Structure 1
Amino acid sequence: MPPRSRAATYAKRRQRRMAKVDHDLTDDQWFALMEIWGGCAYCGAVDAALQKDCILPISRGGRYTLTNVVPACRSCNASKCNLEVTAWMRRKKLDERTFLVRQAETLQALA
C-alpha cells in the first residue's frame, strides 16, 4: 500500500474528529445566520461565498452548533485555520469587541 499524502492524512484525521461529535446546526439556522450577518462575520465582505466557520475549532473540541458557527469568507476561514478567534483577530488587527458584541446580538435575535 502506497504511503498517504499529508493532505490525505489530515483529511482522515478530520473525518474521525467530525464523526466523534454531534453537530446540530440545521440548514434553516445556517441560512438565518447568513442573513443576519449579511456577509463575513470577521471582515464584513458581502460579495464572497460564505463558509461555516467554527469559533471554537473542531480540532479544539468545537462543533457545528448555532452558538459556535459564523459565516466567513474563504480568506478569513483559511487564515483563521484552527486558531482561537480573539487571538486571531488581534493578530489580523480586526475589531474583536465589535465581533463579540455582534455575535451576542445575533444569538439573542435567533433565540
Structure 2
Amino acid sequence: MAAPNSRRARAARRRTRRVKAVVNDLTEEQWAALKAAWNGCAYCGVSGKPLQRDCVMAISRGGRYTVENVVPACAACNASKCNDEVTSWMRRKRLDERTFLERYVAIKNSTTPNAHRPDTEPG
C-alpha cells in the first residue's frame, strides 16, 4: 500500500475523482458481450488471459466507461497504452491499427442499440 501522501496515492485519488465525475454506464451484461465479441485482447488478440476494461478514449482525455468506449485489453496492452491516444499508441507498438478500427466499429455497431449506421438513414 502506498503512503497516504505519496505521488502514487495522490494520483490514485485524482483518478478516483475523475472516474466518479463522469457518467459510467457500462453494465456487466455489456462487458460480457464485449469480451465475447472481441474473443481476446482488442489490441494484440491474445486470448486465455484475464481481460481488463480499457477506455479507447482515456478517462483523462474525457472518455467514459460506456459500451461505446470500452474494449477488453490484456494487462500488458492496458498498462502500455496508459492514457495515450489509441491509434498513435498502436502505430508505436506496430499493431494493426486498421484491423482494430474496422473491428471496433463493427462490434460497436452490433453492441450499441442506437449506434450511427449510415446505411439505415433516410435518404
Q: Counterpart of 1:107?
A: 108
Which amino acid in structure 1 is aligned with residue 80 of structure 2? S
Distance 1:19 1:75 in 2: 25
Deviation of the 1:109 alpha carbon? 1.8
The residue aligned with 1:62 is 63
**Secondary structure of the corresponding residue to residue 25 of structure 2:** coil
The CA deviation at 1:3 is 6.5
The alpha-carbon deviation at position 85 of structure 1 amounts to: 0.1
Percent identity, aligned pairs only? 59
- Quote the residue 2:121 is aligned against: none
The corresponding residue for 1:88 is: 89
Structure 1 stretches lacking a partner, 5+ long: none
5+ residue gaps, structure 2, are 114-123
Q: Following TM superposition, where does structure 1 have runs of at least 4 consecutive aligned residues deviating by more than 6 angstroms?
A: none
- Normalised by the size of structure 1, how large is the TM-score? 0.95
Q: Which residue of 1 aligns with 2:15?
A: 14
Q: Aligned partner of 2:7: which letter?
A: R
TM-score for the superposition, normalised by structure 2: 0.86
Greater Cα radius of gyration, structure 1 or 2: 2
Give per-residue Cα distances to partners, 1:75-109, cap 9 Å, x unaligned: 00000000000000000000100000001111122
Residue of structure 2 equivalent to 1:37:
38
Contact 2:42 2:71 in 1 (8 A): yes
Name the aligned partner's letter for residue 46 of structure 2.
A
RMSD of aligned Cα (Å): 1.2
1:39-83 CA distances to partner (integer Å, 9 max, x unpaired)?
Answer: 000000001100000000001110100110000000000000000
Paired positions, count: 110
| Aligned-partner Cα distance in 2 for 1:108–1:20 | 27
* Matches of 1:3 and 1:72, distance apart in 2: 29
Q: 1:48 — aligned with what?
A: 49
SS at the partner of 1:76? Answer: helix
